Amino acid sequence: MADNRMNKEQIKAAIVAKLQRQFGCDTTDATDDQLYQALAMTVRDEVMERRAASRGERKRQRAKKLYYLSAEFLVGRTLHNNMVSLVNEKEYIQALDELGIDKSRIFEREPEPGLGNGGLGRLAACFLDSLSSLKLPAMGCTIRYELGLFRQHISDGYQVELPDNWLENGYVWEICRANEAVEVRFNGYVQDYTDESGETKYRLCDYNAVQAVPYDIPVLGYDSNMVNMLRTWSARAAKPIDMKEFNRGQYIEATEGKELVEIISKVLYPEDNHEKGKELRLKQQYFLSSASVQYALNDFEKVYGPNWSMLPDKVMFQVNDTHPGLAIPELMRILIDEKGLGWEEAEAITRRCFAYTNHTVMQEALERWPEQMLRILMPRVYMILEEMNRRLCARLWEIYPGQWDRIAHMAILAYNQVHMANLCVSMSSMVNGVSQIHADILRRTTFRDYYQLDPGRFLGITNGITHRRWLMMSNPGLSDLIDEAIGEAWRKEPDRLKELMPFADDAAFREKFDKVKQANKARLCARFERIQHVTIDPNTLFDVQAKRLHEYKRQLMNILAVLVQYNRIVDNPNYTIPPRTIIFGAKASPGYYRAKLIIKLINSVAALIEKHPRARQMLHVVFLENYCVSAAEMLMPAADISEQLSTAGKEASGTGNMKFMMNGAVTIGTMDGANVEIYDAVGPDNIYIFGLSADEVEASYGTYRSSEIYETSPELRRVLEQLIDGTLEPENPRMFQELYHALLFGDGGGMADPYFVLKDMHSYVHTQHLLSHDYEKNHGLWLRKAIINTAQSGIFSSDRTIKEYNDKIWHLKPLILK
């Protein structure tokens, strides 16, 4: 690419100039925040210059554009990442050094936009990074939540939620595009009328209008001039405030309406994999869908005019789970009501423009809205859904006459509910799962009826992560070592990490790899010291489970296995294990009582171990507060072991597993999600697999009795009893009774231990034992495993994932840029 990036001297001059002009100060008297702002503005200037170049080119080349619609985009911090993408990171770092500025301290001043809960949102952010790096024209669309996912504080072992006011001090990376605001209409009623040509048309009357104001965040591709935008929509009252009332002295009344409207983009819902059917959430979903589709059509019309039949050749919408699924009827509505197309024509266009990704098979996460709610909130969209459903059911009736149950199961509207997954599956050109096992389950179970009708539309595209953020940026030590061994080509072609394979047997390389890991562990220890005032011994095995807290992810199994080890140590003075630090990072949804209790349990077990002089030499449990993207960036490079314990068949893919692997952690896990692909990539000697397979889980539902395990295993019985006998909380022995009960008896008619914690426990403890043994007995061989994990991680780059989406679904052409 054109070498138009700044050198060290230019960077220094630019930073000094920004400090002077923005804040009237210099490097000696600037605060850390001012230094951050000055540096960020300098980098932003470089990014925006490239933006100007790529924007014009997309239009000139009449390139097809992807809209990646997602209720969440967990982008993380941007400054350092942009330095990496500009490829003059080293010049920046040197410039900062020479100006006497501590780079890590400055990076930490950047607020992290927490616009997502977990995997789904982080995936969207990795995808945008890859789209830009591959020069594919795209726009991410989401909501500019004023409050992101809550900040987690641990107090007395309990999770406490604090607001995440990330916009409080302004956000350098966003640009308000007020001129591209659109109006989203809620409520009202539908009126039919006859147009000039005598046709019946529909319009919405007496609606409530909300302004959707876009704020764009640029996403720069690696070593390229390509910039795509992440568009975040903010809700604003259509008319600012009622001035007449204001003048009459009714100050409060005049602002009331405004607050009601602007609440739409106020807060991100913190439920992950659990749907509660809240009206405000539905409003958010339609707000995002409508604003994004309106913008896409405006943008199309500017270049191609009202040639709507061309739309599928120029515009594609990827629906990231069902949350933005109302974009489908919204496109139909605009094409029919506003652009004058007939139903058939609009439907054919719409089908070709949409594709849908499913991210979960958890029943409680499948979105269903009460029909009544849609009828009131978005009456015209509801009418369109009714007509879609009528046509769908008529077609199904032809194929399956008399099969009411099957048709109801496939319908968009059934039993007074809108079934979002059926809407997305029935109206999309392609439907994909996010790992091979997940796609199989979708075909065989979740969407079985649809699959039988039309198997060609169902795909599995295994998730990926951007190796730029998750290796190059977060693990510079390892990245440099890789360069030294195999050159730099892997940075653009991550599959070439494979060239590291011979180095797995090279003693000198192993030693250097070990040194890097050790340094990363020391870096993490320093962070714990500084932020949580916890001292960790870096010379222990770092065993990490970091992900949202959910019963199916089985953090409970992990902590109960720790308790098993504790008992063995306490019971037998000769029992030893290689010293381990077990690190948990997990946020629980604020309303998910049991998940929060598991956090408390983890902290209680941690405290119990601390009290035992010998146990604490071998086991140290620590809870990393407020797990988020920037915490993950420190955590992944420091891990020796990656815990991926989900009940087989439940984790759609997992992406944390890939980040750990890429940074040379060895996985202990079930054959679930993308663990299966990791297993295929590294081979059985370089991963620790345990537990039931997905098929075995499926087959065990009717017959599994956790109480049998309780009766036959004294060791497991003991840890279960410790949940209720005061061992953990002498003041309140009943504290964990609910967990005990759920494992042994089930709740509210449900089965006992529905996630097979006790069933898999034996296999898990045994496999941990083998792992400990391997780690201790032959460290060289352990390093070999770790290196092979990094070497085989190239296929998990999201560049590979995006290429697959593009080949099979989107068919975008890379822009040709200088």
- What are the catalytic residues? 359, 547-548, 553, 655, 659
Burial (CB count within 10 angstroms: exposed 0-12, middle 13-18, buried 19+), residue 4: exposed
Shortest Cβ contact with ligand 26W: which residue? Answer: 119
C-beta of residue 98 within 8 angstroms of C-beta of residue 12: yes
The tokens of 33 are what? 């925040």
Nearer to ligand 26W by C-beta: 34 or 653? 653
**First-to-last CA distance in the chain?**
6
Nearer to ligand 26W by C-beta: 439 or 560? 439
Minimum Å gap between C-beta 327 and ligand 26W is: 16
Among 146, 367, 633, 643, binds ligand 26W (CB under 6 A): 367
Contact between 120 and ligand 26W per CB under 6 A: yes
The interface mask with ligand 26W, positions 732-761, x = CB under 6 A, is ------------------------------
Contact between 565 and ligand 26W per CB under 6 A: no
Classify residue 221 by its DSSP letter: P
Tell me the C-alpha distance between 743 and 765, whole Å.
17
C-beta of residue 335 within 8 angstroms of C-beta of residue 341: yes
**Nearest Cα to Cα of residue 639 among 620, 616, 664:** 664
Choose the stretch contacting ligand 26W; rule: CB under 6 A; options: 113-121, 139-147, 221-229, 635-643.
Answer: 113-121
C-beta of residue 770 within 8 angstroms of C-beta of residue 685: no
Minimum Å gap between C-beta 673 and ligand 26W is: 5
**Nearest Cα to Cα of residue 466 among 224, 807, 130:** 130
Among 12, 144, 359, 467, binds ligand 26W (CB under 6 A): 359
The interface mask with ligand 26W, positions 580-619, x = CB under 6 A, is ----------------------------------------
Contact between 657 and ligand 26W per CB under 6 A: no
Dihedral of CA 588/591/597/603: which sign?
A: positive
C-beta of residue 681 within 8 angstroms of C-beta of residue 660: no
Contact between 289 and ligand 26W per CB under 6 A: no
Contact between 142 and ligand 26W per CB under 6 A: no
C-beta of residue 792 within 8 angstroms of C-beta of residue 459: no
Among 360, 466, 565, 663, binds ligand 26W (CB under 6 A): 360
Q: Is 334 helix (H, G, I), strand (E, B) or coil?
A: helix
Q: Is 237 helix (H, G, I), strand (E, B) or coil?
A: strand
Nearer to ligand 26W by C-beta: 80 or 587? 587
Dihedral of CA 124/125/131/134: which sign?
A: negative
Among 34, 630, 653, 801, binds ligand 26W (CB under 6 A): 653
Dihedral of CA 389/392/398/400: which sign?
A: negative
Amino acid at 106: I
Maximal C-alpha separation, the chain: 93
Contact between 146 and ligand 26W per CB under 6 A: no
Minimum Å gap between C-beta 617 and ligand 26W is: 36
Among 69, 365, 411, 595, binds ligand 26W (CB under 6 A): 365
The interface mask with ligand 26W, positions 256-275, x = CB under 6 A, is ---------------xxxxx
Minimum Å gap between C-beta 366 and ligand 26W is: 8
By CB under 6 A, the count of residues binding ligand 26W is 23
What are residue 433's phi and psi, to 5 degrees?
Answer: -95, 170
Contact between 649 and ligand 26W per CB under 6 A: no
The interface mask with ligand 26W, positions 416-445, x = CB under 6 A, is ------------------x-----------
Classify residue 578 by its DSSP letter: -
Helix (H) or strand (E) holding 129: helix 119-133
C-beta of residue 230 within 8 angstroms of C-beta of residue 140: yes
Contact between 368 and ligand 26W per CB under 6 A: no
Site residues (CB under 6 A) for ligand 26W, limited to 301-340: 321
Binding residues vs ligand 26W (CB under 6 A): 117-120, 123, 271-275, 321, 359-360, 365, 367, 434, 463, 651-655, 673
